[in-house]
């Protein structure tokens, strides 16, 4: 990665000459850790769900609402920041999102009932959606095509290190301070650190000639175009489906590993292994995607995902499935998501350089709301075994393949994605 130079196809960042200069390496780290605030907000609380449910008297699978409400509301919230970011710039909208993330993290720490906590978590996800929706738009401001897929893969490498360690951090906070409320305080601290970094180092990346007016009809038209274009809609829905399966695992992971397999004390380590495998896969994707192309890599990974999910279902259907078969297969499928997520997202964003904010919001909305709703359904279907999750992983992967085939007009493994500025 470079510090200041630009490769062919990259656009110089607007206003970089007026004080702020940021290189590719720092930009990747910053975008990754912005998105990681969202991941930390989801995963750090997982080890405390038992204690939280006990404090508030929440029964059964209802504890999952603390995660599911955040995910679903974040998906709804992604509709909002993109249009404003296309008009006023990326920086102001990021600051608004970070401010809400910090304030609502502190509010969650002060919740006095389970219903209040779930409502605050939903508000936290909704209003902090900018930190999820804007990083892809910021990267698209600079590059496109398979270059964007490479940068997004590197972002996901760093981003996924946080889910790998977040449950351990949450458990550490719980053990050290004895109260799950301090986990939400740690989220606020992370938000403050990111706010300072963005303020001092991130230039405005929106180019003046790409600014859009805040008018309902053009915004609606742009967003509709971003989620209806045949060449990209299959990738947006396809990623929503496979990540819905992942959200289902996240929602039920504490119960599944702790109750079904009796390994509650090892939960943070097992979760870290799975998320770490996904991070390694994203790093590998960043090394090969410009050579082989985002389509070829992601299509091959999707077929492999289907095969592994089928193996998961077979083992889950046996009466004596153990942790030793579940974890390697789950880690394998999470690894394969590392070759799917960034590539599907980059392909879906490719035609929309001039409306990157609106496109990122619209696609993020569809991806997050569908994935979160699906994940909540899968998680709530937990019946004491891994079978509902395995069925869901296989079904969502097969459906994802169908939608990709529709976008690609039934022809897979196409050529590399070339940035429109390189033509």
Q: How far apart are CA 206 and CA 134, in angstroms?
A: 11
**Which of 5-9, 10-14, 93-97, 342-346 is least confident?**
5-9
pLDDT band, residue 420 (cuts 50/70/90): low
> At 349, phi and psi to the nearest 5?
-85, -15
> What is the pLDDT at residue 313?
96
Percent over 90 (pLDDT), the chain: 31
**Which of 8-12, 55-59, 217-221 is least confident?**
8-12
Provide Rg for the chain, Cα atoms.
20
Residue pair 34/194 in contact by the 8 Å Cβ criterion:
yes
Question: Which of 116-120, 274-278, 365-369 holds the top average pLDDT?
Answer: 116-120
Q: DSSP readout, 58-116? A: --GGGGGHHHHHHHHHHHHHTTTHHHHHHHH-HHHHHHHHHHHHHHHHHHHHT--SHHH
Output 19 or 417, whichever has higher pLDDT. Answer: 417
Cβ count within 10 A of residue 413: 13
- Right CATH number for 24-200+215-407 from 1.20.1250.20, 2.60.40.10, 3.30.930.10, 1.10.10.10? 1.20.1250.20
Burial status of residue 76 (CB atoms within 10 A of its CB: 0-12, 13-18, 19 or more): middle
Using the 8-state DSSP alphabet, how is residue 384 labeled?
S
> What is the pLDDT at residue 97?
94
3-class secondary-structure state, position 285? helix
Tokens 């004491």 correspond to: 384
Q: Is the pLDDT of residue 306 over 80?
A: yes
pLDDT band, residue 418 (cuts 50/70/90): low
- 185-199 residue pLDDT tens: 999 999 999 999 999
Segment 395-414 mean pLDDT: 92
Kindly tell me the sign of the dihedral angle through the C-alpha atoms of 287, 292, 295, 301. negative
Q: Is the pLDDT of residue 13 over 70?
A: no
pLDDT band, residue 406 (cuts 50/70/90): very high
Q: Is the pLDDT of residue 19 over 50?
A: no
Distance of CA 390 to the CA centre of its chain: 21
Output 264 or 246, whichever has higher pLDDT. Answer: 246
- 315-337 residue pLDDT tens: 999 988 888 899 999 999 999 98
The token duo for 83 is 């249009």
Question: Across all residues in the chain, what is the average pLDDT?
Answer: 85
Distance of CA 302 to the CA centre of its chain: 18
> What is the pLDDT at residue 332?
94
Output 74 or 160, whichever has higher pLDDT. Answer: 74
> What is the pLDDT at residue 20?
60
Segment 215-244 mean pLDDT: 86
pLDDT band, residue 389 (cuts 50/70/90): very high
Q: Which of 15, 401, 410, 5 is nearest to 239 (CA)?
A: 401
Q: Is the pLDDT of residue 15 over 70?
A: no
Q: DSSP readout, 151-165? A: HHHHHHHHHHHHHHH
CA distances (Å), 87 to each of 91, 92, 204, in order? 11, 10, 12
Q: Where are the domains of the chain?
A: 24-200+215-407
Tokens 């579940």 correspond to: 326
pLDDT band, residue 12 (cuts 50/70/90): low
Residue pair 77/128 in contact by the 8 Å Cβ criterion:
yes
**Which of 166-175, 216-225, 287-296 is least confident?**
216-225
- 245-255 residue pLDDT tens: 888 888 888 88
Task: Enumerate residues 6+ apart whose C-beta is below 8 A from 101.
Answer: 37, 41, 124, 127, 128, 131, 187, 188, 191
């Amino acid at each position: 990665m470079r510090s200041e130079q630009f490769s062919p196809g990259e656009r110089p960042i607007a206003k970089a000459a007026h004080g702020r200069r940021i290189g590719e390496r720092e930009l990747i780290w910053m975008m990754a850790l912005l998105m990681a605030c969202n991941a930390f907000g989801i995963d750090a609380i997982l080890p405390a769900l038992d204690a939280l449910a006990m404090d508030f008297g929440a029964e059964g699978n209802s504890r999952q609402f603390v995660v599911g409400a955040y995910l679903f509301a974040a998906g709804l919230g992604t509709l909002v920041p993109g249009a404003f970011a296309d008009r006023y710039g990326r920086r102001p909208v990021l600051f608004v999102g970070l401010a809400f993330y910090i304030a609502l993290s502190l509010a969650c720490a002060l919740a006095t009932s389970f219903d209040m906590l779930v409502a605050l978590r939903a508000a936290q996800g909704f209003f902090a959606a900018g930190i999820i929706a804007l990083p892809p738009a910021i990267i698209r401001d600079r590059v496109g095509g398979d270059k964007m897929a490479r940068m997004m893969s590197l972002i996901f490498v760093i981003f996924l290190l946080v889910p790998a360690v977040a449950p351990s951090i949450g458990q550490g906070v719980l053990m050290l301070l004895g109260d799950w409320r301090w986990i939400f305080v740690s989220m606020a601290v992370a938000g403050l650190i990111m706010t300072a970094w963005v303020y001092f180092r991130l230039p405005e990346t929106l180019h003046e000639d790409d600014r859009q007016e805040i008018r309902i009809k053009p915004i609606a038209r742009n967003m509709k175009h971003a989620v209806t274009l045949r060449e990209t809609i299959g990738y947006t829905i396809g990623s929503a489906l496979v990540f819905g399966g992942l959200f289902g695992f996240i929602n039920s992971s504490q119960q599944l590993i702790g109750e079904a397999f009796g390994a509650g004390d090892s939960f943070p380590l097992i979760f870290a292994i799975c998320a770490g495998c996904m991070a390694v896969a994203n790093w590998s994707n960043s090394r090969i995607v410009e050579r082989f192309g985002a389509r070829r890599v992601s299509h091959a990974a999707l077929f492999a995902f289907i095969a592994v999910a089928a193996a998961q279902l077979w083992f889950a259907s046996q009466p004596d499935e153990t942790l030793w078969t579940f974890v390697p297969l789950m880690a394998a499928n999470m690894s394969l998501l590392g070759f799917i997520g960034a590539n599907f997202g980059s392909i879906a964003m490719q035609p929309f350089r001039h409306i990157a904010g609106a496109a990122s919001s619209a696609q993020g909305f569809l991806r997050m709301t569908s994935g979160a709703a699906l994940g909540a359904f899968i998680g709530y279907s937990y019946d004491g075994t891994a079978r509902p999750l395995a069925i869901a992983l296989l079904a969502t992967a097969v459906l994802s393949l169908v939608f990709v085939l529709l976008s690609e007009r039934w022809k897979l493994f196409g050529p590399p994605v070339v940035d429109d500025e390189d033509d």
